[in-house]
Amino acid sequence: MQTALTGAAGEHYVIGALLRRGVLAAAAPPGTSEVDLLIVDRSGSVSATVQVKTRLRGTSGWSMSSKHERIEGPGLFYAFVDWVDPMLPRSWIVPSAMVADYVRTSHASWLESPGRQGQPHNETDLRRLEDRPQSFPLPERFMPGWMDRFSEAWHLLGG
């Protein structure tokens, strides 16, 4: 599946999952930066925003960039969707502050660690959000399984 289609599929999946739970959700207007979905309360006010990241089966982690080190706010969440099974994707709802912390911390640790042949890593805009062991040290709060508490945590978005 093409990247754009994968992303769109993830966004539609999250909207459907929220609507099934009685949470009003809709796609953000085109051109809205840093936000894919709006969560609206019964009065019509935006109560939360969501950025959706989707990966296909067999892909390690989710693609991020340096901007994700700075994107955080009390009403902003990430929905990480994993299409392990096309009929039953898995998802994690993670507060943006936790994502920003992970992206900053893991990238800094990766930069400080040597490459496969002992060479220093070069700065890059690319980042990965992972929930598996890394070849570089991470703090206890980001050990494998750190995302488990956010698995299917739809309640964080209301309803």
Give residue-wise pLDDT tens across range 120-132: 999 999 999 998 8
Sorted by where each begins, the domain ranges of the chain are 3-157
* Residue 87: burial class (beta carbons within 10 Å; 0-12, 13-18, 19+): exposed
**CATH says 3-157 is which class?**
alpha beta
State the CB neighbour count (10 A cutoff) for residue 133: 8
Percentage of the residues of the chain whose pLDDT score is greater than 90: 72
Closest CA to 92 of 134, 50, 58, 60: 50
pTM across the whole model: 0.93
Q: Per-residue pLDDT averaged across 1-20, rounded?
A: 88
pLDDT tens digits for range 26-80: 999 988 888 999 999 888 889 999 999 999 876 789 999 999 999 999 999 999 9
Give whole-number Cα distances, 75 to 30, 41, 57, 96, in Å.
20, 13, 29, 8
If one compares 7 and 102, the residue with the highest pLDDT of the two is 102
**Is the predicted pLDDT of residue 96 greater than 70, yes or no?**
yes
Question: Residue 85: pLDDT band by 50, 70, 90 thresholds?
Answer: confident
Lowest mean pLDDT among 7-11, 33-37, 43-47, 84-88: 84-88
